[in-house]
Amino acid sequence: MTGESRQPAPRREVVTGEPRRVRPLPRYRAQAEIEEQTALGDAYVRSLMRSQLRAGLSAFAVLALVAGTLPLAFAALRDTTAVWVVLGFAAYPLLTLLAWWYVRRAERNERDFARLVKGRPAP
């Protein structure tokens, strides 16, 4: 749009086409709804948050249940070998597995959400 130096006086022109944009437009309608924070866009974000919170709470519930009952179980059993085996060795692979399960579920949630958003291309 900056006038070329050869032309002496820039002419006033009426632009009738689509304005060119710095960023591309949102490609999908749902994306635009989210960007403009409409009620529908808000509902999209809330549904994603709900599914992600459910995934996080599930993993946390497993952890809290096990960690909450183990000290009582150890106190009842009075078997120190069990404490060594569980806390010294078994805990770490189990924690890593739980983390891996959560990451898979969280990424699946995000993929599902992307599919939902991309489901209806913008007109």
Partner 1 sequence: MSQSYTVTAVTVVVLATVLVGGFGLRISRTTSDFYVASRSVGPGLNAAAISGEYLSAASFLGVAGLVLLHGPDMLWYPVGYTAGYLVLLVFVAAPLRRSGAYTLPDFAEGRLESRAVRRLVSVFVVGAGWLYLVPQLQGAGLTLRILTGAPDWFGGVLVALVVVVAVAAGGMRSITFVQAFQYWLKLTALLVPALFLLLAWQGDGRPRVDLGLTGAVADRADHPLYATYGLIVATFLGTMGLPHVVVRFYTSPNGRAARRTTVFVLALIGAFYLLPPVYGALGRLYVAELPHGANADAAVLLLPERAIGGLGGALLGALVAGGAFAAFLSTASGLTMAVAGVLTQDVLPSRGVRHFRLATPLAMAVPLGGSLLVSGMPVADSVGMAFAVSASSFCPLLVLGIWWRRLTPPGAIAGLLLGGGLAFAATVITVSGTVRSGWPHALLAWPAVWSVPVGFLAMILVSLATRGRIPPGTNAAMTRFHLPEALMPGARGGPGGAGGPTGTSGPTGSSGADSAGGTSGTGGVR
For residues 44 and 116, the answer to whether their CB atoms sit within 8 Å is: yes
Shorter beta-carbon distance to partner 1: residue 37 or 120: 37
Q: How far is CA 14 from CA 1, 7, 9, 10, in A?
A: 12, 18, 16, 13
In the complex, which residues of this chain contact partner 1 (CB under 8 A)? 1-2, 18-24, 26-27, 31-32, 34-37, 41-42, 45, 48-49, 52-53, 55-57, 59-60, 63, 67-68, 71-72, 74-75, 80-81, 83-84, 87-89, 91-93, 95-96, 98-100, 102-103, 106-107, 110, 113-114, 117
For residues 38 and 89, the answer to whether their CB atoms sit within 8 Å is: no
